[in-house]
Structure 1
Amino acid sequence: MSLAQALQQSGAIDAMARELGVDQNTARMGANALLPAIVAGMGRSSAGGMGGGAADPLGGLGSILGGALGGGMGGGLLEAVLGGSPTPVNQGNDILGEIFGNKDVSRSVTSEAAQSTGISQDLLKRMLPILAMAALGYLAQRGRAGTAGGGGAAAPAGPDLGGILGSIVGGLAGRR
């Protein structure tokens, strides 16, 4: 199952549509356009591309995912998107900072998505942090499900994240 399908089944895409005041089809189209860049950014971050060394091969994303798995973010990223309150997008913006490195990359991602979907770039900019939170929250839930015990959750997150990202990237590649 692709990440887009998983987020649709979890209700995250519908929750995002309600929060942003758009129809579900627009939210799905936006998610389908933005998720490949989010996953690619996570893959680069998990490969150590954002400055992770031997002690933290996942770089900053490993710390974020480890915090989500270990409770530092309460593992509640996906729940924050699914809740009835406005999503606290600061966490989503922090995630985007780790996976993209700077706002220029985020702008480029939303510009490309706007061109391919016809959805306004402003709307896609609002979607991006919510979608990043939902995606990382979903990955954290999958990582928790695959982690026995949970005491040192950050340590097992590396192999699990690699496997999860591999299956997601494989799912995305199969759709093209």
Structure 2
Amino acid sequence: MKTFYDLMLEAQQGAFAASMAKEFGISPDQQAKAFEAMMPAFWLGLRRSAADPFGVAAFWQKVGAGQFQSYFENPLAALTPRAQADGESIVERMFGSPEIARAVALQVEATTGITQDVVRRMMPVMANMMMGGLQRQTKADANPFLAMMREMTGGPPPKPAPKKRPDLPFVTLMESFLGPEKEPEPDPNDEPMSNEEVIDRLFDASRSMQNSYRKSMEMIFDRFTTLPKKD
């Protein structure tokens, strides 16, 4: 199963890490540390978006917009002004406020020693890579988020296709990462994963995040948002 860590390693035919380090004047080791330190914030941002149906729809509308895969594959395209603007839009969508983005950058600086200004400039580039990896994994015509958006905006109806758990679009995304699955025998005791649980798996949360660091990121989001906590 591919996680977002795998997608970042594949970005730009494996050259993403080196190009990022060169662009921002840091070592490959520093780039890797920054990447690891930022992922919990991206995880939390997506997780909270997934709890809001309108947030999920807006997120997936961005994925289906078409430009992110070119950033994922082309180092030159990933560093253009348009790419910067697109990535900044994703950062704003995930974090919800400039205050959260600044606080996350400060936390990453404290953890890695990379200045917050550099971290803040890296965020849109990494957001583009994440979105491009998602776009590469899914086809727009079979995309449950885009189908939902067409319905909400009065666009043409999507092509008929079998859908599993349409109320949990991130679960359908996970199935696209895993590829076609065999139909298992139904187990009445099994419950489908929630959108949040799928995001946890995509970010490989249990492996990659220390509890203390994850909690520090959660405190940042809680401080600057008014979203109700999930019981």
**Given the two structures, how large is their TM-score scaled by the length of structure 2?**
0.60
Tell me what 2:61 maps to.
Answer: 63
Structure 1 Cα separation of the partners of residues 91 and 68 of structure 2: 18
Distance apart, 1:126 and its partner CA? 1.0
Give the Cα–Cα distance (whole angstroms) in 2 for the partners of residues 166 and 85 of structure 1.
Answer: 26
Rounded Cα–Cα distance in structure 2 between residues aligned with 1:31 and 1:112: 13
Structure 1 segments, 4+ long, off by >3 Å, are 161-164
Matched, 1:142 2:137: yes
Contact 1:8-1:14 at 8 Å conserved across structures? no
Greater share of residues in helix: 1
The answer for the alignment partner of 1:7 in structure 2 is 8
Letter of the 1:58 counterpart: V
Contact 1:13 1:31 in 2 (8 A): no
- Is 1:47 equivalent to 2:51 in the alignment? yes
Q: 2:34 aligns with which of 25, 30, 36?
A: 30
Aligned to 2:70: 76
> C-alpha distance in 1, partners of 2:68/2:112?
34
Q: How many residues align?
A: 159
Which residue number corresponds to residue 117 of structure 2?
122
Q: Alignment partner of 1:134: what SS? A: helix
The change in CA–CA distance for 1:13 and 1:172 in structure 2 (over 3 A counts) is farther
Q: Is the 1:92–1:132 contact (alpha carbons within 8 Å) kept by the matching residues of 2?
A: yes
Distance of 2:77 and 2:124 partners within structure 1? 17
Indicate which of 77, 84, 90 corresponds to 1:89: 84
Letter in 2 for 1:17: A
Q: How well do the aligned residues superpose, as a CA RMSD in angstroms?
A: 2.6
Offset at 1:47? 2.4
Maintained 8 Å contact 1:45/1:58: yes
Pair 141,120 (structure 1): closer, same or farther in 2 beyond 3 Å: same
Higher Cα Rg: structure 1 or 2?
2
Which runs of 5 or more residues in structure 2 are unaligned? 148-162, 175-194, 211-231
In structure 2, C-alpha distance between the alignment counterparts of 1:85 and 1:126, rounded to whole Å: 13
2:72 aligned counterpart, secondary structure: helix
- The answer as to whether partners of 1:14 and 1:24 remain within 8 angstroms in 2 is yes
Asked whether the equivalents of residues 92 and 133 of structure 1 are also in contact (C-alpha less than 8 Å), the reply is yes
Change (3 A) 1:84 1:75: closer
